[in-house]
Amino acid sequence: MKVWMWPKYSELNLYNNLLTDSLCGAGVEVMDLTHGRLALRVARAKPGDVVHVHWMHHAYQNRNPLLFAAKSALLLATLLVLKAKRVRLIWTLHNLYPHEVKYRRMERAMRTLICRFCSGLIVASEAAKRQAMAEFGVPAGKLTVVKHGHYADAYPSNGTNFRRRYGIGEDAEVYLFLGAIKAYKGVEELIEAYRAIKTDNSSLIIAGKADREMEAYLRSAKDIASLVLDLRFIPNEEVADLIGAADVMVMPYKEITTSGSAILGLSFRKLIVMPDNGFIDEYFEEGMVVRYDPGVAGGLAAAMETAMRSVKEGRSPDYDRALRELEWDAIAQRIKNVYQGRDER
């Protein structure tokens, strides 16, 4: 079986690397659809091949509405060619909508049309499946729930002591936000929550590449002495040691369909603070997440305090059981079944 994957590998997220390697181990030949060349490369696909796309919006989005329309038309023409050639199109719907949407109606129309062209769609939770059915009119039989695999052993330690690097005491209570820093990630709310609960023995690390707007905001928050800003892309070889420096990971995202960052935290057996959502119940055992209602004043701050208290009490949830549900071999076989059109849904 030949699968044309977009992307096959990624320097920014090891998800695609782990998925591709596991599919190859399951006997799937995975070809690379280079970014920006979807329309050119799929011409090489033959009847019976599979085209598997992860982040479809890169093929049609543009800030100029005329270019948005032109790119959308080109993509739809490409999908027509695939359909005529009897090439199966699979789309992993990682998010209901892209994180940045300028033209909501056009976005919804395109995603609805793309869903109709797809032979199958993959979502990472039952909650996401219900959302796709309601928002884009996708029939249940076209959607398959395949969980997002774990990152255990994907990020080896190189022995860096980040507490020492950042000037944080070994007995300090440390909260960590890790990842790209954009407005929808709720970092401003995190800063204000931390102001309310910080102590002489606590620190908040915010690590990741920030966009211009968020970097300006964070620089203005430097009056908090125990706030550590590491505003750069965190390379893969530093991820394990940076997470190891934290007691609690905080993910105050304003919109969550599936969170790779949360699964990263789970993989490193870290207690996570995040808004209450259906995704949590499908991936996490009791005691692994402290939830809060973003609509309740002080909810995030209270959840952070609860989480730190839980860590200090030494509670130990069953991480092994949760991670067994996210093994890549089983995920690869399930996706291979989707490719072959014989999954049980």
The pLDDT tens digits for 151-177 are 999 999 999 999 999 999 999 999 999
Average pLDDT, stretch 269-276?
A: 96
Structure tokens at 314: 């030494």
Angle, alpha carbons 4-8-13 (nearest 5°) = 150
Structure tokens at 210: 């920030």
Structure tokens at 185: 């990630």
User: Amino acid identity of 75?
Assistant: L
325 alpha carbon, distance to own chain's centre:
17
Report residue 50: phi and psi, to 5°: -125, 135
DSSP letter, residue 143: E
Contact call for residues 248 and 227 (beta carbons, < 8 A):
no
User: Amino acid identity of 180?
Assistant: A
For residue 342, the model assigns a pLDDT of 75
Contact call for residues 178 and 249 (beta carbons, < 8 A):
yes
The pLDDT tens digits for 113-156 are 999 999 999 999 999 999 999 999 999 999 999 999 999 999 99
What pTM was estimated for this model as a whole?
A: 0.90
